Amino acid sequence: MTRLFPRCRRPGNHIMGYIMGKVEGQGESWHGHVTAVTVAPEYRRQQLAKKLMNLLEDISDKIDKAYFVDLFVRASNTPAIKMYEKLGYVIYRRVLRYYSGEEDGLDMRKALSRDVKKKSVIPLKRPITPDELEYD
């Protein structure tokens, strides 16, 4: 499993934003996973999240040869969902009560070049529960 933790810094070593991720899974489930992406409020709307996401996607695609990148986001986090959709992510499935057993999570995915037929992003037809998630 490859772990990633790139950061953006400005002069003075102040962290502007970061992304945490890893590459995991087996077979056609070999994928990059975004654990967290955060940009400090004063640096938002400057494409930093996009650049960080692109970096994780490029590493997952070109170095680790993953099939897709995935992430989980709160179903109520409309701004983040819209940003991920602009970056090419689709809602793969809804995970009921994913966050603290209260709020649903959305599993969003973006197919990479190895997934020629884009099988990894064909949405599931029904929501799942957290105990149905597979952790490779």
The domain segmentation of the chain, as residue ranges, is 2-132
Evaluate if residue 123 carries a pLDDT over 80. yes
Tokens (6 digits) for 71: 């992430």
- Kindly report the pTM of this predicted structure: 0.89
Q: How confident is the model at residue 2 (pLDDT cuts 50, 70, 90)?
A: low
**Range picked from 3-7, 15-19, 113-117 for highest mean pLDDT:** 113-117
Classified by CATH at the fold level, domain 2-132 comes out as Aminopeptidase (3.40.630)
What is the pLDDT at residue 8?
63
pLDDT digits over 10-67, tens only?
677 778 889 999 999 999 999 999 999 999 999 899 999 999 999 999 999 999 999 9
pLDDT digits over 56-113, tens only?
999 999 999 999 999 999 999 999 999 999 999 999 999 999 998 789 999 999 999 9
| Cα–Cα distance measured from residue 98 to residue 83, given in angstroms and rounded to the nearest whole number | 21
Torsion angles phi and psi, residue 37, rounded to 5: -135, 125
